Amino acid sequence: MTTTIIDPRDVWDAALGELQLRVTRANYETWLKHTVGVDFDGGEFVIGAPNAFVLEALEQRMFSLISETIEHVLGEPVNVSFRVSVSSNGAVAAREPVSAPSSRDARPAAPEQLDLPPYVRPIRLNAKYTFDRFVVGRSNELAHAAAEAVAAKPGSTYNPLVMYSGVGLGKTHLLHGIGHRAIAMGLSVIYATTEEFTNDYIKAIREGTTEEFRDHYRNADMLLLDDIQFLIGKEQTQEGFFHTFNALHMANRQIVVTSDRPVSALRLLEDRIQSRLTGGLVVDMQPPAIETRLAILKVKAEQAGHDVPDTVLELLAERVYDNVRELEGSLNRVIALAHATDSPINVDLVARAIDDMVDALAIREVPPDVVLDTVAAHFGMGADALTGRKRDKKTALARHVAMYLLREDAKLRLTAIGRVLGGKDHTTVGHGCDRIAVQLGVDSSLRRQVANIRETLATS
């Protein structure tokens, strides 16, 4: 089996970073934002557009700009084409949905593949998604350890392994990491997105080749299925998945799936599938904390072959915080801007590259001492309690809220917040802010309190 090195999604993400600098914001938002890299076979690069309208606009208005940019990213000439590509939940998907006319058929097949059914394809693992390029932190250490364990002893530790998290937090990366290891051990691995699995299965049914389909999957040593939430609402495919799963599981072949939500929230799956999925190990991943974000940026900068100053990385790590893909995107934009303007990568460039930072600077900023006084008063204490060392629960909460508002509303950097709070270090401050950001999502009483404080701030 061969491994495809270049993932069209990565190429297109990098190209989007550059395009964002070359077109107006309105054009970017309207035409480019919801596109996706769908396919790249070495000669032709296929871009997915959310609808025919956008597709036409891209073809007619941006064709040469897009071609040029992709060529720049790839460093070689390509033919660019477009297709409509939307997932069932309305978001743009990397693969075409079942109902779309199957454009996979139109894709030029590699010579050795000509007589094979569609599901026999070269395994597509991103060469960059290996374990040694995965940064481990508290937010993902369990998932990482489970993935390593499964890769070391497929079929005999946790089977199945289910990894879930919000988008852009490393599920696909770990899944590919397992695949790379297994291939290195000489195992036969099938990696498929759930949409590919669905398309293949539906096609097999249509053509009366479900037996061959099953044999193909049953013969694998390992099945890696990405984004299993796409099975929701596809009953026929669920059936196919159930049988495939059982056959593999009974033969002690390793199954790993990812999901963007917990198994219990895949409510639409049949109960029996749900109970199969929870029969092994289920692990989740959370957004990384600041030091992990910084470590990730370091790895990505190094990978991109750029010498990015720590001050720049720190600034980026402080700002973007709930999704590693965004974090990476912010770095890519900075690098692309440096490239486009032929200037060194420094802190000034960051402000220019990241729109929302520029926007944030324009907002009227709340003076830090007003934030401290207001928060302290809300919690019935003096501002000196916030800058002091007391660590009881109430003081700690008040201090974290102060950190959060100093970052969000006073627009201070973490190091500056640390100073305002009597010399706390920026990691502590980062944790405090993150804690409140997470709590706000789940704790309505805290939401009300923060809203009250903000109201006071706004009228002060």
**Residue among 149 and 295 whose Cβ is closer to ligand ADP:** 295
Work out the angle at residue 222's Cα, subtended by the Cα atoms of residues 176 and 182, and round it to the nearest 5 degrees.
55
Please name the residue that has the structure tokens 């992990």.
Answer: 292
Considering only residues 277 to 316 of the shown chain, the ones binding Mg ion according to CB under 5 A are none
164 CB-near residues (< 8 Å, 6+ apart): 171, 258, 259, 260, 261, 262, 263, 282, 283, 284, 285
**Residue among 154 and 170 whose Cβ is closer to ligand ADP:** 170
Residue of minimal CB distance from ligand ADP?
170
Integer Cα distance of 294 and 320 in angstroms: 11
Does position 169 interact with ligand ADP (CB under 6 A)? The reply is yes
**Residue among 287 and 418 whose Cβ is closer to ligand ADP:** 287
Does position 172 interact with Mg ion (CB under 5 A)? The reply is yes
Integer Cα distance of 203 and 210 in angstroms: 9
Work out the angle at residue 290's Cα, subtended by the Cα atoms of residues 391 and 407, and round it to the nearest 5 degrees.
70
- State whether residue 79 is helix, strand or coil: strand
**Residue among 172 and 292 whose Cβ is closer to Mg ion:** 172
22 CB-near residues (< 8 Å, 6+ apart): 65, 69, 340
Number of residues this chain uses to bind ligand ADP (CB under 6 A):
18
Strands 254-259 and 79-84: unpaired
Q: How far is the CB of 94 from Mg ion (least distance, A)?
A: 9
Does position 87 interact with Mg ion (CB under 5 A)? The reply is no
Does position 229 interact with Mg ion (CB under 5 A)? The reply is no
Considering only residues 174 to 193 of the shown chain, the ones binding ligand ADP according to CB under 6 A are none
Does position 168 interact with ligand ADP (CB under 6 A)? The reply is yes
Residue by residue, DSSP assigns 389-451 as ---SHHHHHHHHHHHHHHHHTS---HHHHHHHTTS--HHHHHHHHHHHHHHHHH-HHHHHHHH
Segment near ligand ADP (CB under 6 A); pick from 28-36, 110-118, 320-328, 335-343:
320-328
Integer Cα distance of 389 and 173 in angstroms: 41
Integer Cα distance of 375 and 132 in angstroms: 43
165 bridge partner residues:
285
DSSP structural state of residue 99: T
Please name the residue that has the structure tokens 């932190």.
Answer: 137
**Residue among 47 and 93 whose Cβ is closer to Mg ion:** 93
Does position 195 interact with ligand ADP (CB under 6 A)? The reply is no
Q: How far is the CB of 180 from ligand ADP (least distance, A)?
A: 13
Integer Cα distance of 78 and 80 in angstroms: 6
Integer Cα distance of 67 and 63 in angstroms: 6
Segment near ligand ADP (CB under 6 A); pick from 44-52, 165-173, 208-216, 450-458:
165-173
Q: Which listed residue (167, 247, 360, 446) binds ligand ADP by CB under 6 A?
A: 167
**Residue among 178 and 417 whose Cβ is closer to ligand ADP:** 178
Segment near ligand ADP (CB under 6 A); pick from 169-177, 204-212, 391-399, 419-427:
169-177
Q: How far is the CB of 273 from Mg ion (least distance, A)?
A: 20
Strands 79-84 and 44-49: parallel
Considering only residues 102 to 161 of the shown chain, the ones binding ligand ADP according to CB under 6 A are 129, 133-135, 140
Q: How far is the CB of 303 from Mg ion (least distance, A)?
A: 18
Q: Give the residue among 169, 191, 194 at the shortest CA–CA distance from 180.
A: 191
**Count of other CB atoms within 10 angstroms of residue 455:** 11
| Binding mask of the shown chain, residues 46 to 85, with x at each position contacting ligand ADP by CB under 6 A | ----------------------------------------
Does position 7 interact with ligand ADP (CB under 6 A)? The reply is no
Q: Which listed residue (325, 339, 419, 454) binds ligand ADP by CB under 6 A?
A: 325
Distances (CA, A) of 395 to 19, 158, 387, 389, 434: 47, 43, 10, 9, 17
Does position 296 interact with ligand ADP (CB under 6 A)? The reply is yes
**134 is in the binding site of which of Mg ion, ligand ADP, none (Cβ under 5 to 8 A by kind)?**
ligand ADP
**Residue among 74 and 299 whose Cβ is closer to ligand ADP:** 299
Q: How far is the CB of 367 from Mg ion (least distance, A)?
A: 42
Q: Which residues bind ligand ADP (CB under 6 A)?
A: 129, 133-135, 140, 165, 167-173, 296, 299, 324-325, 328
Q: Which residues bind Mg ion (CB under 5 A)?
A: 171-172
